[in-house]
């Protein structure tokens, strides 16, 4: 379970450039979630072996200066509420502005690590100019140039050092199924339909994040915690505010979950924001079930399930081995099928294959379809085992692991899915030196 780091500050100080530089450097999500006024970015990153979720809060660019400043403040307040650490970015070219001072006033009251980052410092004169940011009352600052990356190493060293250690919750033994998705997709209605019809509910317990409720639930003889992330919106007329809050809650819910039930609105399709949540769950190695809600509205248009599913899976490539369940919360169509499928995915994610069985199945297969030769050298895979991790990860031991390329790893992953049924679960394939 990783920490959340939020980048805050007024627009045009280089937050998005810094964000993109961080996550392009490592295997992480690079996503833009379509917002009301601009794109919202969030992803996973790591530094010195410590992983964290990164959120670019962006700027609100609609309305008068007064509205503008008010919305920046709201986003900062939300980031303060949810994040474990905050990066406050300012611009050395423009110096301290009134909006910088407003944000600083909020951050001075925070009992969380705050890193004042002066951007666009790419020469000695600008480094000297940065001294004026001491006036914000946030103590020491870090000078960087996000356009070329200078100074980011020192900042990230300090950031990961300050991030709180996330304790593993040993007593939490029940699986966690998180219902996630964009606003108005029907998440809340889906959970209410389940709870309203089923009499096996035991109790409501407070979730690990505020406003997120774990409902202990029993269906098909299987007990689990159903995590409701639907009640995450604040009562506000500002849609941007709600959208940002939804993104932060979704990140938290996904971090904690075993299986994510991703609810999408059939009338809107598998759009950009839904895809971003999907890839976030996939990169976090969670089980995934796609729930296409409001199918009763689409059925009238005679759009077939197979065609709709084909379009969704095209957008999921290359991870297409994901169950898609067409539901209607309004008519309660297939809502229990959705839970049954999620339970199956949970069991797939927990599945352990005996080493003897893996080698029995794969060694003859690899002999018939060996890795392509590279630089006139032949790769010989000698042994396969599943690693002792919470999600399926497999090590293939061979003489020249560096010569096994991605297409062959995908071939092995597809064969693992074909032979052992890992539907709905991301699989990791590693080549190790024998």
Task: Specify the pLDDT at position 414.
Answer: 92
Task: Specify the pLDDT at position 237.
Answer: 36
Evaluate if residue 208 carries a pLDDT over 80.
no
CA 139 distance to own-chain centroid: 32
Detail the DSSP E strand segments found in 160-212: 176-180, 204-206
Task: Specify the pLDDT at position 73.
Answer: 64
- pLDDT tens track for 297-325: 876 555 688 888 889 998 888 888 999 99
**Alpha carbons within 13 A on the beta-carbon side of 401:** 13
Spatial distance between the Cα atoms of 50 and 25, rounded to a whole number of angstroms: 14
- pLDDT tens track for 257-288: 899 999 998 888 888 778 878 888 888 889 99
Instruction: Give the pair of three-digit tokens for residue 57.
Output: 């809060």
Task: Specify the pLDDT at position 300.
Answer: 57
What Cα–Cα distance (Å) separates residue 283 from each residue in 45, 53, 354? Answer: 11, 11, 26
What is the percentage of the chain residues whose pLDDT exceeds 70?
77
pLDDT band at 231 (very low <50, low <70, confident <90, very high): very low
What Cα–Cα distance (Å) separates residue 70 from each residue in 59, 139, 222, 363, 409? Answer: 11, 25, 47, 63, 50
- Closest among 345, 206, 168 to 262, alpha carbons compared: 345
Instruction: Give the pair of three-digit tokens for residue 293.
Output: 């809600």
DSSP 37-70: SSEEEEEEEEETTEEEEEEE-----SS-HHHHHH
Q: What is the mean pLDDT of residues 385-396?
A: 91
Evaluate if residue 433 carries a pLDDT over 80.
yes
- CB count in 10 Å sphere of residue 358: 19
- pLDDT tens track for 28-66: 333 333 333 333 456 777 788 788 888 777 654 444 455
Q: Which helix (H) or strand (E) holds 280?
A: helix 272-283
Cβ-based burial of 49 (10 A; exposed 0-12, middle 13-18, buried ≥19): exposed
- Closest among 124, 130, 145 to 100, alpha carbons compared: 130
Spatial distance between the Cα atoms of 290 and 346, rounded to a whole number of angstroms: 14
- CB count in 10 Å sphere of residue 234: 11
| Whole-prediction pTM | 0.62
Q: What is the mean pLDDT of residues 195-219?
A: 45
């Amino acid at each position: 379970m990783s920490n959340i780091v939020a980048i805050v500050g007024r627009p045009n100080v280089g937050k998005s450039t810094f964000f993109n530089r961080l996550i392009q450097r490592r295997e992480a999500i690079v996503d833009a979630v379509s917002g009301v006024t601009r794109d919202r970015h969030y992803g996973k990153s790591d530094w010195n072996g410590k992983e964290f979720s990164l959120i670019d809060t962006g700027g609100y660019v609609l309305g008068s200066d007064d509205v503008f400043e008010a919305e920046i403040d709201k986003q900062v307040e939300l980031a303060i509420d949810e994040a474990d650490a905050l990066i406050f970015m300012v611009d050395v070219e423009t110096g301290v502005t009134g909006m910088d001072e407003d944000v600083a006033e909020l951050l001075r009251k925070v009992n969380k690590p705050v890193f004042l980052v002066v951007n666009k410092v790419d020469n000695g004169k600008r480094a000297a100019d940065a001294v004026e940011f001491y006036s914000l009352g946030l103590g020491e600052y870090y000078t960087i140039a996000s356009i070329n990356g200078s100074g980011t190493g020192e900042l990230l060293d300090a950031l990961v050092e300050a991030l709180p250690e996330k304790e593993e919750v040993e007593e939490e033994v029940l699986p966690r199924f998180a219902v996630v998705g964009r606003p108005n997709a029907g998440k809340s209605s889906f959970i209410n339909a389940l709870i309203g019809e089923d009499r096996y509910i035991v109790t409501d317990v407070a979730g690990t994040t505020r406003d997120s409720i774990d409902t202990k639930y029993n269906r098909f003889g299987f007990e689990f915690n159903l995590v409701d992330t639907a009640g995450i919106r604040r009562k506000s007329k500002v849609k941007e505010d709600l959208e940002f809050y939804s993104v932060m809650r979704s990140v938290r819910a996904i971090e904690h979950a075993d299986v994510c039930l991703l609810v999408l609105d059939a009338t809107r399709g598998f759009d950009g924001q839904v895809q971003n949540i999907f890839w976030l769950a996939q990169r976090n190695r969670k089980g995934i079930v796609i729930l296409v809600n409001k199918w009763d509205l689409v059925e009238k248009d005679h759009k077939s399930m197979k065609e709709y599913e084909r379009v969704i899976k095209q957008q999921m490539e290359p991870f297409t081995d994901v169950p898609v369940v067409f539901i209607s919360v309004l008519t309660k169509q297939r809502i229990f099928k959705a839970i049954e499928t999620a339970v199956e995915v949970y069991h797939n994610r927990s599945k352990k294959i005996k080493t003897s069985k893996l080698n029995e199945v794969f060694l003859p297969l690899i002999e018939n379809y060996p890795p392509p030769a590279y630089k006139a050298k032949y790769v010989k895979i000698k042994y396969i085992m599943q690693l002792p991790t919470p999600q399926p990860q497999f090590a293939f031991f061979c003489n020249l692991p560096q010569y096994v390329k991605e297409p062959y790893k995908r071939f092995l992953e597809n064969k693992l899915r074909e032979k052992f049924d890992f539907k709905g679960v991301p699989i990791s394939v590693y080549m190790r030196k024998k």
